[in-house]
Copies of this chain bind each other. A is one copy, B any other.
Amino acid sequence: MNETISPEWIAVDWGTTHLRAWAMQGGTAIAKARSDAGMAKLERDQFEQALLDLVNGWLGTGTTPVIACGMVGARQGWVEAPYKSVPCKPDQSAHAIAPCKDARLQVRVIPGLKQEKPADVMRGEETQIAGFLALNPDWDGVICLPGTHSKWVHISAGEVVSFQTFMTGEQFDLLAGSSVLRHSIDTSGWDKQAFEDALSDSISRPERLAANLFNLRARDLLSAQPKDIAHARLSGLLIGAELAAARPFWLGQQIAIVGATSLSQIYADALAVQGVPATVADGARMTLAGLQAAYRQTKETV
């Protein structure tokens, strides 16, 4: 870029493993940048420089407001933005202010949400939910946010009423990448029928998961089961177990899925097999809409 960009504000999605920033003019992203300077890689005094490395070229002589969400607000992040308790609106304005040496930056961090019983937490997803509700006002129902730690979230009257987290994505990554199953799985392939069969096995007999997992290895050893089928079966087994446990969330509810496109489509297919239609919304777009809603709020309250 040779052009000089001077955004009104900067939107930041700062997770465990990634840092994404958008240069914003009102509600329009005029530039974007990303790095792998995730929260897990940084000590507390390294966050400011990691952000400057990415957005320095966007800063003018005055102060540019920055709104950030995600693990940057965790206890081991840049500044702790303490969890708000549900039930509450996902776009509350109790932002934490990150300590900055560079006067060109003013960084606000959006708090996550917590639930006392059963104990549960989210950080980052609350901003996607706020974005979805900003774009879909008066929407009531359940939002599913599939990913490393999938969330199912009851929404009523603009508030997060309750939610539940499932370690489905992290289990998938560990089993496909680090367990004995890695020899029998090729995650570049897919087989829709195998996914649906495994999904059905797991929804009807979720307690058989640990046995069904080893079965993927045995089928490879005994009958050279194709590795794309094993991939789809592993996904079906784990998502089926999640759907079995999340049944109170999706049964008879209006469902929206917010996440990465390909994974969201897999969840939408899985719900369709149960006769449940679902709206799919792009996760990154919802994050940006949520950050924008938070920015608008700071303009109203400041």
CA distance in complex: A61, B164 (Å): 68
Which among B83, B178, B211 is the interface contact of A164 at CB below 8 angstroms?
A: B211
CA distance in complex: A164, B213 (Å): 11
Which among B178, B208, B210, B245 is the interface contact of A211 at CB below 8 angstroms?
A: B245
Q: Which residue of B lies closest to A246 (CB)?
A: B211
- Interface size bracket, A side: 35 or more
Residue in A167, A178, A218 with the greatest tally of chain B CB atoms within 10 Å: A167
A107-122 Cβ-contact flags toward B at 8 Å (1 or 0):
0000000111011110
Given A166-B210, A222-B121, A241-B207: A149 touches B180 (CB 8 Å cut-off) = yes
CA distance in complex: A7, B265 (Å): 64
Interface segment among A92-100, A169-177, A267-275, A277-285: the answer is A169-177
* A210 vs chain B, min Cβ distance (A): 4
Interface residues of A in 244-282 (CB under 8 A from B): 244-246
- Say whether A193 faces chain B, with CB atoms less than 8 Å apart: no
Chain B residues with CB under 8 A of A208: 245
Copies in the complex: 2
Chain B residues with CB under 8 A of A222: 83, 114, 116, 119, 121
CA distance in complex: A277, B207 (Å): 23
Complex contact A215–B119 (CB within 8 A): yes
- Say whether A206 faces chain B, with CB atoms less than 8 Å apart: yes
List 15 contacting pairs A-B, 8 Å CB cutoff, sorted by A: A75-B221, A114-B218, A118-B211, A119-B221, A121-B218, A121-B221, A149-B180, A164-B211, A167-B214, A171-B179, A171-B210, A174-B174, A206-B207, A207-B241, A211-B246
